[in-house]
Every structure is written in C-alpha cells, then in structure tokens.
Amino acid sequence: MSNAAPWQIEEKKVYLRDTFFLLLIVVVSVFLAEQLLLDAEATAVDRLFSYLLFFIPLGTLNFVAHYFYRNRRIRITGNLRSSLRYRLSIAFMLIAVIPSIPIFLISSDNVETVVRGWFRLDMVEAMEASRQVVSHYQETESRDFLRRMSGGLENPFLDVAPRLMIDSLYARGLLSGGDYAGIFEGERVLYESRSLLSPSTMPQFVGSSDPPARVFKRVDGSDYVFFRFSLAGQNSVIIGHRLHEGLERRIELIEQTALALKEEGGGGRVVGTLRLGLALLYILMICGALVASLIIARQISMPIVSLAAATRAVADGDLDTRLEIRASGEMGILIDSFNQMTAELRSLRNRLLHSQRLAAWREVARRLAHEIRNPLTPIQLSADRMLRRLDHPERGDLPRVVRKASATIVEQVKVLKTHVEEFANFARLPRARPAPHDLDGIVPEAVNVFQGLGHPKIEMRLSGNLPDVYIDKTIVIGLINNLVKNAVEAILGQAEARRRKPERIVISTAIRTARGRRFVALTVEDTGPGVSEDLRERIFEPYFTTKGPGGSGLGLALVERAVLEHDAHIQVGRSALGGAEFTVLFMVPEARR
C-alpha cells in the first residue's frame, strides 16, 4: 500500500469501512429480530425472514447514506472518492428490483390459484364424509358387538372362575382371535386372554356400568372398542373388540388426510408457506443482485476513478503519470490514449523547457550586459579624464580631478559588484527540500527582520488553524522577505504627496478551495502604487524593475523561482488597501485534506 496513490489508499479505507458497517447491520438485524419478533419455538425459516425484515431497510438506508456522505465530502474537500460506484450500484439494483416486483406479485397470485385448485371444497367435504362413514361404521360395529356380549355375560357365568368364563366366551364364538378379554380386581389383572393392556395403555372409562362404559382406543396400531362390565365385589371384566381388522392403515390415512385438510383451512396455510418461500427466494435474488451490482460497479468505476486521478495529477503538473490498469474495449482505448498523451506532453514540455531556458538565459545575458555596460561608461569617462589631465599637467588641479574620477570609479565598481552578487545569488538558489510546516509559524520569523522599521507599519493576520504544507522553510522565509521588501520599496519609492496614509503592509494566511482542491494562501498587500495590468506578466522577469536605478530586478524573479520550486502558484492583483496584492497558493497534500 506504500506505493499506492492517496486516492487508492482512501478507496481501500472506504471498502473496509463499508464492510464494517455491513457486518454491524447484520449483527443489529439479528439482535432486533431476536428481541422483538422471535421466540424459542420459531423455525429456521421464520428466523431468516425476520432477520431479512430488519436487514433490508437498514442496509438500504446505510447504502444511500454513504452515497450522499461521499458526495458531500467530495464537494467540501475535493478529494477523489468513487461516488460513481454507488450510483452504478443503485442503478443496477433498480434494474433488478423494479421489473421483479410485478413478477413476484403475479407468481404469488398464481401460487394461490394453483393451491386453491388442489384443495377444492368438494375434496375437503369428501374427505370429511369418508371420516364420518368410518365413524358410523365403528359405532354400528360396536353396538352389534355389545348386543352379542350382553347375552353372553348372563348371571350364571359371573360366579365361575375368570379363566373358565373367558374361555367360554371364545368357545361360544362371542370373541375372535383379534379380540381381548381380561378380568381385573381394581387395576390389578387377574386373568387376560392375551397381553394387550398395560398401565400406560389402559382405557380410561367414564360413567357407570349400566349401560357398560365404552372407550374407543388405538393399541399397538390397531383400533379397539373396549367395554367394562362389573362383576361381584371390586372385580370387573374388560372386553375389547378389534374394529375393521386389516383396514387400519387405510382408515388412519383417511382420518389424517381429513384432519390435515381441515387444519389447512382449504390450503390457506400451504399458500402462506409457499408465498413465504417465494418471498425468501425473491429476497435472496435481491441480495445476489446487490452483490453482483457492487462487483460490476467496482469493475466499471475503478478505471474511471483511476483516469480521473491521473488527469488531476497531470493538471497539477505531474506529466510522469501513467496508468497501468488493464482494460478492454473503449476503456482500454481511452487509457492507452491517455498514456500516449502524457508521453507526448512530457516530450513537448522538455522541448519547451529547453527553449525557455535558452530564451531566459539570452534575456538574462542581454540584461546583465546592459546593467554592466551602464557602470562601465562612467568608469571609462573618468579614466579618460585622468589620462588627459596627466598628459597636460600645465592645466593644473590634477589632484582634484584624480580624486573625483577615482570616486566615480569606486562608486560604479560597487554597483557592478552588487549586480554580480545578486546574479550569483539568483543562479545558485538551492533546490527546495520540502518538509511539513505550519505557515503561521514561519511568517512571524520572516517578518522579524523588518520589525525595526518605523514605517511602513507591518500587520499580520494569521489564520491559526492551517493544515501543514510541504515547504522548504529557508526558501519560503526568503520568499516572504522579498515580497515584504518589494512592498516597502514600493511604498517608500512614491513621492511624498502621493503616499496613502497610513502606510502599511498586511500579511495574511487563509485556507482556500479552488478546482476541487485546497490551498494554504499567503497574501502580502501594501498601500503602494500597485502594479498595472500590462506589467503583471513582466514583473517576474530577471532584471525587470519599475523602481528606477535603485532596483535590481531580481527580487520578484527569486520569488517566482521559489514558488515554482514548491509547485505553488502566485497571483498578482489590486489590493483593497490601494496597492499591490501578491498571493502565493501552497497545495494541501491530499492525505491531509
């Protein structure tokens, strides 16, 4: 990540943040669903549906909020952030969701129609009638059996031994092999024809024995009707008759089907279950469309954002920018064209810089020759005057002529020396070594040099909350010194009658935003004569001056060179104080915006 561009680092942070919020929404959705909607008996389908019921609106709200937040941050800071990815994702989601809504509604109605056809009313009534027929058959058979048994349990048999009585019932044909007979003393078994009843399967009789108590009960997969007849004392006999022998499975199927149809309410619960399943499938399709839209949108937006970042870098002067992204189709052609354009711009810039350097040095040589030629003329005239007086000593006053000529020569040599020193300083200005600095802390240090001046008055209006900018402190101090010195000379160079009162210089700092980027602005204003519009392009040329013989013409040239060393910008305008206004714009690094 260390070699990644700032906007790429920012995008990775955004992806991590989006992932964090997505996981947070999942946790919150599960928590809210468990606390507000679900209980311990909820099924897995119910839980999934409840989770999605919270997740979808919360996720959509998070998605839209991030989109507007990123757009607002772009407007405020000018940073590159891919809101295009969110717009594409929303577009893909709308394309996937809107057409599927009527499809879901139509499918849901069709499901109800089909299921209602399966659970027709006549089918429900037929199954209910079948169950009633079975019940009627059981009732009829149990009454017939009771009539047979009533004649077989007459008093002469009640006093015999239990086993003999039961054997007599089987011998007389009143009981068959599938039936049951048992004699009990209370709940204790005295004798039974076969092991069938146990404490857990014992029928619970309600009522008296006249008529005999009757219970229908299923035991070991077979249906029985049990009767209880009272004997002497606490004894009783329980007779069980097996109903519809061999048809138990079919009877059970009829009863279960009829009961299920009745519970389903004609298929209402089935319709609800199928609709729920269809809704879950629809929701899963939406989630899949969301994931697919995010992936596709990122693949589309990433080359565009990379191209936008590279274009901004080129606009900032970095012509070495090159896109290494592999893309096909029109996007690949656009990236190749951009790389070719930057290569041609680099070539043109190198040729232009070479031409500008030649032209600049020609101009410097011409102006330097002019500045040197000016002192040489009085030096030559003074030397000629001394030689002529030496050739004609009879004219007298030789010492005065020599002293005057020598003074002129010495004065002009000083002028030459000054020009040479200033040119040497201009030529050996070191390259900038930027480091993060607060400009508010540098301005007072640079202005201290001029605090001893009685006038003009120097005022500082510092912002106090500037972000750090990458600058060379020494070079920027020299830049401020030259701007303040230029302002002082401009004010003092005016005629006394034309000076604006009070004479003052204002140095201020502020944050400015231009073309989507943030800058720290350093402004120096004065009450001098100002700079006319026709001279604003020339004042930064070496040896160009409007101050007459006293000006070197290199102060503002040094300022411009310092500005270029920092990839900054300088603007010249009219100050509200009436004089000139110089504004230097230092770009705020993207990571600090």
Q: Give the pLDDT confidence of 356-383 residue by residue, as tens digits.
A: 667 767 766 776 676 677 778 788 888 8
Residue 55 burial (CB count, 10 A): 20
- pLDDT, tens digit, for every residue of 323-349? 777 777 777 788 888 888 888 888 887
Beta bridge partners of 513: 518
In the 8-state DSSP scheme, what is residue 499? -
pLDDT at 521: 94
**pLDDT-based confidence at 156, cuts 50/70/90?**
very low
- What is the distance between the alpha carbons of residues 518 and 316, in angstroms, rounded to a whole number? 12
Do 500 and 411 belong together in one domain?
Answer: no
Tell whether the model's pLDDT for residue 470 goes beyond 80. Answer: yes
Do 104 and 209 belong together in one domain?
Answer: no
**pLDDT-based confidence at 124, cuts 50/70/90?**
low
pLDDT at 34: 86
Mean pLDDT of 389-402: 77
Q: Averaging pLDDT over each range in 150-154, 208-212, 393-397, which range is the top one?
A: 393-397
**CATH number reported for the structural domain that contains residue 211 in this entry:** 3.30.450
pLDDT at 84: 65
Whether residue 126 lies inside any domain: the answer is: no
Q: Which candidate, 480, 407, 472, places its Cα nearest to that of 449?
A: 480
Tell whether the model's pLDDT for residue 190 goes beyond 90. Answer: no
Record the tokens describing residue 43, joined without a space: 């099924």
Do 484 and 556 belong together in one domain?
Answer: yes
pLDDT at 133: 76
- What is the distance between the alpha carbons of residues 313 and 185, in angstroms, rounded to a whole number? 105
Do 556 and 440 belong together in one domain?
Answer: yes
Tell whether the model's pLDDT for residue 219 goes beyond 50. Answer: yes
- What is the distance between the alpha carbons of residues 106 and 101, in angstroms, rounded to a whole number? 9
Do 72 and 151 belong together in one domain?
Answer: no
Whether residue 321 lies inside any domain: the answer is: no
Enter the pTM of the model. 0.44
Q: Which candidate, 72, 53, 64, 51, places its Cα nearest to that of 18?
A: 64
Do 144 and 222 belong together in one domain?
Answer: yes
Whether residue 142 lies inside any domain: the answer is: yes
**CATH number reported for the structural domain that contains residue 389 in this entry:** 1.10.287
More confident residue, 426 or 14: 14
- pLDDT, tens digit, for every residue of 102-112? 776 677 667 66
- CA angle 454–456–460, rounded 5-degree value: 105
Do 377 and 298 belong together in one domain?
Answer: no
Whether residue 523 lies inside any domain: the answer is: yes
- When mean pLDDT is compared across 92-106, 107-121, 436-450, the lowest value belongs to 107-121
**pLDDT-based confidence at 289, cuts 50/70/90?**
confident
Whether residue 124 lies inside any domain: the answer is: no
**CATH number reported for the structural domain that contains residue 490 in this entry:** 3.30.565.10
Query: What crossing angle do the helices spanning 6-36 and 44-77 adopt, rounded to 10°?
Result: 150
383, 406, 427 - which closes a domain: 427
Tell whether the model's pLDDT for residue 132 goes beyond 80. Answer: no
Do 272 and 253 belong together in one domain?
Answer: no
Tell whether the model's pLDDT for residue 592 goes beyond 60. Answer: no
Structural domain span for residue 370: 329-427
Record the tokens describing residue 171, joined without a space: 């011998």
pLDDT at 582: 93
pLDDT at 525: 93
- pLDDT, tens digit, for every residue of 416-426? 787 777 667 66
Whether residue 279 lies inside any domain: the answer is: yes
Tell whether the model's pLDDT for residue 267 goes beyond 60. Answer: no
Do 361 and 467 belong together in one domain?
Answer: no
Mean pLDDT of 547-566: 75
**pLDDT-based confidence at 455, cuts 50/70/90?**
low
Residue with tokens 């086993």: 163
Do 445 and 585 belong together in one domain?
Answer: yes
524 contacts 446 by C-beta, under 8 angstroms:
no
**pLDDT-based confidence at 151, cuts 50/70/90?**
low
Chain center to CA of 207: 76
In the 8-state DSSP scheme, what is residue 394? G
For residue 510, the surrounding DSSP H or E stretch is: strand 504-514
pLDDT at 121: 47
Q: How many helices (H) and strands (E) does the chain have?
A: 12, 12
Q: Which candidate, 495, 480, 475, 485, places its Cα nearest to that of 564?
A: 475
Could you give phi then psi for residue 190, rounded to 5 degrees? -90, -40
Do 62 and 46 belong together in one domain?
Answer: yes
Residue with tokens 């830049």: 479
Residue 56 burial (CB count, 10 A): 16
What is the torsion angle, in degrees rounded to the nearest 10, for the CA atoms of residue 229, residue 232, residue 236 and residue 241?
-40
Do 419 and 440 belong together in one domain?
Answer: no
427, 457, 477 - which closes a domain: 427
Residue 449 in 3-state DSSP?
Answer: helix
Whether residue 320 lies inside any domain: the answer is: no
Tell whether the model's pLDDT for residue 29 goes beyond 80. Answer: yes
Tell whether the model's pLDDT for residue 90 goes beyond 50. Answer: yes
Whether residue 187 lies inside any domain: the answer is: yes
Tell whether the model's pLDDT for residue 210 goes beyond 60. Answer: no
- When mean pLDDT is compared across 58-62, 231-235, 481-485, the lowest value belongs to 231-235
Would you say the C-alpha torsion 284, 285, 286, 292 has a positive or negative sign? positive
Q: Is 16 exposed, middle or buried (0-12, 13-18, 19+ CB in 10 A)?
A: exposed
**pLDDT, mean over the chain:** 75
pLDDT at 235: 73
243, 261, 279 - which closes a domain: 261
Residues with Cβ within 8 Å of 33's Cβ and at least 6 positions away in sequence, in order, are 47, 50, 51, 53, 54
In the 8-state DSSP scheme, what is residue 177? T
Mean pLDDT of 43-63: 76
- When mean pLDDT is compared across 82-96, 256-270, 476-490, 538-552, the lowest value belongs to 256-270
Residues with Cβ within 8 Å of 36's Cβ and at least 6 positions away in sequence, in order, are none
395: amino acid identity, one letter: R
- When mean pLDDT is compared across 301-310, 366-375, 470-479, 511-520, the lowest value belongs to 366-375
**How many distinct structural domains can be found in the chain?**
4
pLDDT at 583: 94
Tell whether the model's pLDDT for residue 137 goes beyond 90. Answer: no
